[in-house]
Structure 1
Amino acid sequence: MSSEELPGREIPGSVGLPFFGAIADRLSYFYSQGELKYFTTRMEKYKSTVFRCNMPPGPFMARDPRVVCLLDALSFQTLFDTSKVEKRDVLDGTFVPSTAFTGGYRTCAYLDPSEPNHAILKGFFLSLLAKKHDQFIPLFRHAMSALFSSLEDELAAKGTSSFNDLNDVMAFDFVFRLLCGVAPAETSLVRDGPKSMDLWLFGQLSPLMTLGIKYVPSFLEDFFLHNFPIPFFLVRSYYDKFYSAFETHLGKLLEEAAELGLQPDEACHNLVFLAGFNAYGGMKSVFPALIKWVAAGGAGLHVRLAAEIRAVVKEKGITPAALNEMSLTKSAVYEVLRIEPSVPYQYGKAKQDFKIQNHENSFLIKKGEMLFGYQAMATRDPRIFENPDDYVADRFVGEGEKLLKYVYWSNGRETDDPTVENKQCPGKDLVVMLCRLMLVELFLRYDTFEVESGKLLLGSSVTFKSVTKYSN
């Protein structure tokens, strides 16, 4: 059946009474049901992957919480079409943090491609990454060497090692060295960079989280966390500290931005956001997920990955071309990005009336409606992926590569490229390469490893329990 022949259907679902419906949905989302059940129960109730609901935080945050929810691989793609949806101030969906957190500027991530500064800023980011491409591998290998050294020391001393803590230090070190050309420890930050950025990130994202603090009743947490955004002045000293360090050491990058017509302070705030929110924040999520799922693959997968990695490295060294020849390693990374995307939510506001479709029906979207996609379900669409809830490391090997167009972690299809006209992550290819490189560094050192995993505010917690060193 072609898309033109799909039967039309009115979008099902309910947002309840004004104000009270949004509060009830928020309590269900964060507490009584939880994120996944919140969506699955509604999908089953309405017998549709497209339906209406409310998305937190709700009415006190000055944005309409009503959305059209998209939970399948087909309808989700609508969110990438900027001819149909506006991406202005939708990064955090139904909540928009104060621009005080970004120096009074709406940074590139909050701009729609139709806004003039979007093309200037994103073009600047893409050019910056292209110019620094030869630094990616040596800088990341240096950072990973320090991480694994600390991990082994902690395992020897305590029997366990928190990967997240070590990963935060590694990620901040890599990003700062890449942009500023100096180690954070050699600046005024000393070792406070990760902690300062964590508090700055929390200040912006807290209304979208739940803390789960023991002995704090959920209604009390909900009242304070989801009704009142954290004011910037509480984290200002932390932001000022790492902003000052970036401003001091960005040097030539700010000069290049000025040549494009950007004011130095606007360029600096945008680069800090790119470094802190996009890069560091993303690495806090994606690398623990990578380790968690590859660990879950067990010793059998580890043997196969180690064999492939060691054979290619022995013959061709560690280069982008060599990484691209590691078919299983590539697939193992893509599968992590599919099953646990670092940014599970996408939003867009309809610019006009248009139709969308899932596998069974077409639906009319009205101009001005907010569309919300929950990627963690869209990329587990059982009509696209066999055994979608299972981590299948070789899913994208050979013919499986055809499924990459349904991997959406970067705010676009994995088969697409970021441009100034779209909202796809400018560092998309870099993230994929660094994930592959992390596995290379891991299996050049170890034959296998065991971890224990759980949940954090941002992504998964991962604790190493053991590593078996490689004796070559």
Structure 2
Amino acid sequence: MFPPQSKPLPLKPIPGSYGLPLFGAIKDRLDYFYNQGKDEFFSTRAKKYQSTVFKTNMPPGPFIAQNPKVIAVLDAISFPVLFDTSKIEKFNVLDGTYLPSLSFTGGHRVCAYLDPSEPNHTTLKSFFMSILASKHKDFVPLFRTCLSQMFADIEDEMGSKKTAGFNDPSDAMAFNFVFRLFCGKDPSKTKLGSEGPAVVDKWLGLQLAPLATLGFPKFLKHFEDLLMHTFPIPFFLVKSDYKKLYDAFYASSSSVLDKAESFGIDRDEACHNLVFIAGFNAYGGMKAWFPTLIKWVGKAGEKLHSQLANEIRTVIKEEGGVSFQALEKMTLTKSVVYEALRIEPGVPFQYGKAKEDIVINSHDAAYEIKKGEMIFGYQPFATKDPKIFDHAEEFVGHRFVGEGENLLKYVYWSNGRETEDPTVGNKQCPGKDLVVLLSRLLLVELFLRYDTFTVETAVLPFGSSVTLTSLIKATSI
């Protein structure tokens, strides 16, 4: 529920402008990627219009986007309208105003592109949720096994170079976990060999390129803009890689595809959906999220590390091992994961089209949105809303401990409130609880092995690059 309003809010016209046809969208795109950057793009407009709801254009813009015009919602009160599927349509809006060629998904509109009103959405999401439920007992032991190899690789690099990159071993670990979870075998035993992460990265990168910048020097911005943001990226550049990926999943996931047929889903369509949920949603999500989590925990410093290590080691000793029950007792560890998800959600954008004329509220006003208008939510502003969170721009590890749990309804990373659950009738991530579980497990395994660590970070097109600059082994367990 939203906080109760003491009095009706004034209905105001939505401020902002789309600018001149064609040129307005290009100007906004250049501001977004090069002249200002994401956060400044939104903050300057919110300040200019004195509103957290306003009109703007969203990249990639002309020639490649269906329609770049959106109504941006940037506060914690207006943002959740995007979760209300009775008012908001989610047809082909996963990537916002732009839809990659369906060749990237075998010609199928996979579940992520479907609106819940479409019958195939119910079938496919039911199938995914059933698969995850059937794998429940594998989550903890399999992920711990994969983490052990990751930390061994990191320690080897630390031993030879004195520092270690986190992203590459994390990517390898994530792909290994996802493939083994769904296919029951090590991907190195398939035709993918050790190339799985690189193949998926290329497939992901070409789909998402129009939504990113590579960070070229500003004098090259027009070259990059022309290359990445003006025309659709052709599928043929990754066609052979995608076939290799699809074939590996098809050959190795017979039991999963058998189950799909019991749901009435064709094996080919099921496999393309499986590749998408495994490669785009699961691996792609972990690729961006795990370095982000380590970045924020690393930067929080030794005091928080000591508190986490003490909680984790004490609970595990009391419970006799790492288990679901033990993880639930680690209140600080849970809070730290939620705080990282709040301060830098892995998927910063949400989109949806109004199914009818609707009125939405911000903290200060009400606004009418017309049927068919695209609503865009920039989540990092909504989940750092200073009217909801004290010290909203700071990473506060204990924020969600005790009474702080009441604030979890304002954590939106999963395309829904953290206090709500995925269903076939909404677009909330079916792996929401699994992501939180794996994030806790990552911290548990980290602080079982090490007392503290330090990091250096850099910005990537999606997420952060993290380098471990020190890693102090645990003195007591």
TM-score grouping bracket, smaller chain normalisation: over 0.9
Q: 1:325 aligns with which of 322, 329, 350?
A: 329
Q: 1:79 aligns with which of 64, 72, 82?
A: 82
Match of 1:446 among 418, 426, 450: 450
**Equivalent position amino acid for 1:305 in 2:** L
Cα distance in structure 2, aligned partners of 1:265 and 1:380 = 42
Residue 254 of structure 2 corresponds to 251
Residue 213 of structure 1, CA deviation:
3.1
Q: Which aligned pairs between 1:322-471 and structure 2 lie closer than 5 A?
A: 322-471=326-475
Q: How far apart, CA to CA, are the structure 2 residues paired with 1:115 and 1:218?
A: 40
Q: Which residue of 1 aligns with 2:207?
A: 204
1:120 aligns with 2:123: yes
Shift of 1:471: 2.7
> How is 1:170-209 mapped onto 2 (pairs within 5 angstroms)?
170-209=173-212
1:45-80, Cα deviation, whole Å (9 max, x unpaired): 000000000000001114110000000000000000
Q: CA deviation at 1:224?
A: 1.5
> Does the 8 A contact of 1:306 with 1:447 survive in 2?
yes
Q: 1:244 to 1:4 in 2, by over 3 A?
A: farther
Structure-2 separation of matches of 1:274 and 1:428: 13
**Secondary structure at the counterpart of residue 356 of structure 1:** strand
Q: How many aligned positions are there?
A: 472
Structure 2: which amino acid aligns with 1:267? A
8 Å CA contact 1:284–1:458 kept in 2: the answer is: no
* Partners of 1:171 and 1:106 in 2: CA distance: 25
Do the aligned partners of 2:59 and 2:65 also contact (CA within 8 Å) in 1? no
Equivalent residues of 1:206, 1:229 under 8 A apart: no
Counterpart Cα distance in 2 of 1:261 and 1:95: 30
Q: Which residue of 2 aligns with 1:60?
A: 63
Deviation string 1:358-399 (CA, Å, 9 cap, x unpaired) is 000000010000000000110000000001110000000000
Shift in Å, 1:179: 0.4
Structure 1 residues 149-188: aligned runs within 5 Å: 149-188=152-191
* Distance (whole Å) between structure 2 residues aligned to residue 215 and residue 181 of structure 1: 47
Aligned partners of 2:217, 2:95: CA distance in 1, in Å?
27
Aligned to 2:98: 95
Match of 2:15 in 1: 12
Q: Deviations over 1:70-95 (max 9, x none)?
A: 00000000000000000010000010
- Aligned partners of 1:286 and 1:257: how far apart in 2? 29
Displacement of 1:440 in angstroms is 0.2
Determine the structure 1 residue equivalent to 2:138: 135
Q: Which amino acid aligns with 1:428?
A: K
Q: Name the aligned partner's letter for residue 187 of structure 2.
A: P
Instruction: Tell me the SS of whatever aligns to 1:266.
Output: helix
Structure 2: how far apart are the matches of 1:434 and 1:45?
41
Once the two structures are TM-superposed, the CA of residue 347 in structure 1 deviates from its matched residue by 0.2
Q: Conserved in 2, the CA contact under 8 Å of 1:3 and 1:357?
A: no
470 and 67 in structure 1: CA distance in 2 versus 1, 3 angstrom threshold: same
Q: Secondary structure at the match of 2:413?
A: coil
Amino acid at match of 1:48: S
SS in 2 for 1:217: helix
Q: Which amino acid aligns with 1:356?
A: I
> Structure 2 matches for 1:162-311, cutoff 5 A?
162-214=165-217, 217-311=220-314
Counterpart Cα distance in 1 of 2:59 and 2:89: 20
Choose the corresponding residue for 2:37, options 34, 38, 44.
34
Contact 1:23 1:58 in 2 (8 A): yes
- Whether the 8 Å contact between 2:215 and 2:461 is mirrored in structure 1 is no
Could you tell me the TM-score, scaled by structure 1's length? Answer: 0.99
Cα distance per residue 1:240-298 (max 9 Å; x no partner):
11110000000111011011111100000000000000000000111101100001110
In structure 2, what residue type is equivalent to 1:396? F
CA shift at 1:2, angstroms? 2.5
**Which deviates further from its counterpart, 61-70 or 410-419?**
61-70
Please list the CA deviations of residues 142-185 of structure 1 after superposition, one character each: whole Å capped at 9, or x if unmatched: 11000000101100101111100111100000000000000011
Contiguous gaps of at least 5 residues in structure 2: none
Q: TM-score normalized by structure 2? A: 0.98
Q: Using the alignment, how far apart are the partners of 1:441 and 1:359 within structure 2?
A: 41
The amino acid that maps onto 2:389 is: F
Do the aligned residues in 1 keep the contact of 2:74 with 2:379 (CA within 8 Å)? yes
Measure how far apart 1:320 and its partner are.
Answer: 1.0
Q: CA deviation at 1:215?
A: 8.4
Identity of aligned residues (%): 61
Quote the Cα distance in structure 2 between the aligned partners of 1:65 and 1:363: 20
Q: Please tell me the root mean square deviation across aligned C-alpha atoms, in Å.
A: 1.0
Question: Cα deviation per residue 1:98-141 (whole Å; 9 max; x = unaligned)?
Answer: 10000000000000000000000001111111110000001100
